[in-house]
Amino acid sequence: MIKSSVTVSLVDEARGGPFVYWDDLAAACGKAKGLGYDAIELFAPGANAVDKGELKGLLEEHGLELAAVGTGAGMVIHGLSLTSGSASERERARGFVKEMIDYGGEFGASAIIGSMQGRHGSEVSPDQAMGYLKEALVDLGHHAKAYDMPLIYEPLNRYETNLINRMGDGAALCESLGEGANVVLLADLFHMNIEETTVADGVRDGGKWIGHVHFVDSNRRPVGLGHTDFGPIVEALKDIGYDGYASAEAFAYPDSDEAARLTMEGYRRWFG
């Protein structure tokens, strides 16, 4: 059974980014429950941003799960990257992610490596960057084992990373690390719309490695407001036996409430 989730951002520096609810966690939890969501996905400034007791209380009050926690604040606030040319910065990046793994882990939620993967460039060759990325994923996947949760790695479109853009390459990376590395893939339907031959083929290429889905339309607006043909994608997700979250990571377009409502309508149509 694929479950529904909606993103909540508390990161001021990410304003305008693809998150449905903003700023007010308590209000977002109330609204998510009101629409029938199973979970929220939290994008927070860091592991100390929301008191764990407060989050636990809100989740319990509204009968919600924590689907996953983002780690991108390490990049957007602190400029950290797991593939930086500086060893000390790579170490700080890993430290930031480990704190987020520890935070989410207590709620049974995985941490997501998206923009924290960084990119290769003048100081770091493509081979070096891939080496750093693999080392980091192995270390962080190992760290996540303490919570019996996998680490989620997200291939991004070419404008956000030059490391891994397609599900097939992500699957090859996971394959090279092995099952024991405890790393799964995030299939973000927006990035895939840019990079894959067809999004459904991308889902099949990711196959058993896909552990999380960002459920969004072609233009990063809520499901139903772009040109994505969801039928074949949903078919492919069923074929690979996916049973994680369909998490609304979309622009708050036309506003947060409508984006959340439209995504739930799409979720019920495609997975209900």
Comparison of 115 and 193: residue with beta carbon closer to ligand LER: 115
Closest listed residue to residue 185, CA positions, set 238, 124, 141: 141
- Angle formed at CA 11 by CA 187 and CA 143, multiple of 5 degrees: 55
Comparison of 188 and 195: residue with beta carbon closer to ligand LER: 188
DSSP assignment string, 6-19:
EEEE--GGGTTSS-
Q: What span, in angstroms and rounded, lies between the C-alpha atoms of 178 and 190? A: 27
Comparison of 31 and 220: residue with beta carbon closer to ligand LER: 220
Strand partners, 3: 245
CB of 249 to ligand LER, least distance (A): 5
Choose among Mn ion, ligand LER, none what residue 115 binds, the Cβ cut-off being 5 to 8 Å by kind.
Answer: ligand LER
Q: What span, in angstroms and rounded, lies between the C-alpha atoms of 228 and 43? A: 25
Choose among ligand LER, Mn ion, none what residue 72 binds, the Cβ cut-off being 5 to 8 Å by kind.
Answer: ligand LER
For position 41 contacting Mn ion by CB under 5 A, the verdict is no
Comparison of 90 and 214: residue with beta carbon closer to Mn ion: 214
How many angstroms from the chain centroid is the CA of residue 230?
Answer: 19
Q: What are phi and psi of 36, to 5 degrees?
A: 95, 15
Choose among Mn ion, ligand LER, none what residue 55 binds, the Cβ cut-off being 5 to 8 Å by kind.
Answer: none
Question: Which residues in 177-216 contact Mn ion (CB under 5 A)?
Answer: 188, 214
Choose among ligand LER, Mn ion, none what residue 156 binds, the Cβ cut-off being 5 to 8 Å by kind.
Answer: ligand LER
Query: In the complex, which residues of this chain contact ligand LER (CB under 6 A)?
Result: 70, 72, 114-115, 154, 156, 160, 188, 214, 249
Four-residue CA torsion sign, 27, 31, 32, 34: positive
The residues of the shown chain that bind Mn ion, judged by CB under 5 A, are 188, 214, 249
